Structure 1
Amino acid sequence: MRHFGVPFREHGLLLDTPEFEREIGRWSPGRTVPALHDEDGVVAWDSLAICEYVNDHYLDGRGWPRDPRARAHARSAAGEMHSGFVALRKQLPMNLRRRPDAYRWNADADRNIARIQALWRELREAHGAGGPFLCGEFGIVDAMFAPVMVRFDGYGVETDDNARAWCDALRALPAFVEWRDAALAETVRLPATDDIR
């Protein structure tokens, strides 16, 4: 939304706290984050549903590639990200402050890492000629994989040239820089993710 200039206000809740447990129900029927409340009364509490709603109502479809083949490929990759890569999520939790150290993950996470990089290569080779992102121009599929780039950076995951180029483009995106800087300015620490060694 920030990249496309769609205005919004954020309401933050710290995960795994009594405040979260008290407050989340009024924001999200599924008690999950993120959740979007639109001014017309629509509530969406799933990241992919939020992306689709914003794409339909604010972006005139610009969140996905215009070409039907590219759009199907991008949606499939975003869906795979949305519902998969459990080992990566569990073993390499997202933490923008993290820097690589001696911590290592197991073969299940390695398989997730290999599959993600293969997906990125497939998207770039098939649809990336129009720019530096997965389908050329920045879109929903890039946003869905942004947390993976943060994980790769924070844990020192080795990447191929294609993945490095995409990550570099994402890191330079003004909306990502703003997101990263806001996260780094936060003072709260979460031992479950901050103390992984």
Structure 2
Amino acid sequence: MSAALRLRTGLRPLALAVALAALGSAPASADEYADWQHDCVGRTYAITPDVSCQRAYAEGLAAVITGKASDSAGTWGYVDKQGQMVIKPAFQEAESFQNGLAAVRQEGLWGYIDKRGNWAVKPRYARASGFNAEGTALVELDERDVLINRQGQVVKTFELGTRSWGFERGQKLAEMEVPQPPRLFNTATGRALTLPAD
């Protein structure tokens, strides 16, 4: 494979790690990035990301997984479009940036970081979606879906049992599953009856 073709198809994980170490941009020692998680070895990056190894570039950054093949799970950090690690790998999971913040999981809970890797909203959620343009995100707090603002303050608490997977990029609306009380349909009368909640 020619060097030009290799550049067009993206860097291989080991090549990216070596390049980062050689450039001095890696926040840790070169051997820490010398071996990527086993599922990511041999995959290409940047052009056609594999979501198990790298998230799509959004707002100039892409989440990538690092670690040793012997690890049961790697850690996620963020690279810029030049392949430099700009947010040190420190997260169990990481999503793409959306409207200036990215949802990341640390110690089992989700929170949000800014593009410098600083906490905008500290981890405290069981689930977290990206922020929409209006500055709200859907998260799970105390087993309920809630809408929060960019400071992590609850804007709206949804009915118990309501579930959502968040906002699609660029959308103001989020699809939600809303619990419905059980109903019976009487074929003789053609009417549906709602059962009492108790």
What is the TM-score of this pair, normalised by structure 1? 0.26
Q: Which has the higher helix share?
A: 1
Q: Which has the higher contact order (CA 8 A, sep 6+)?
A: 1
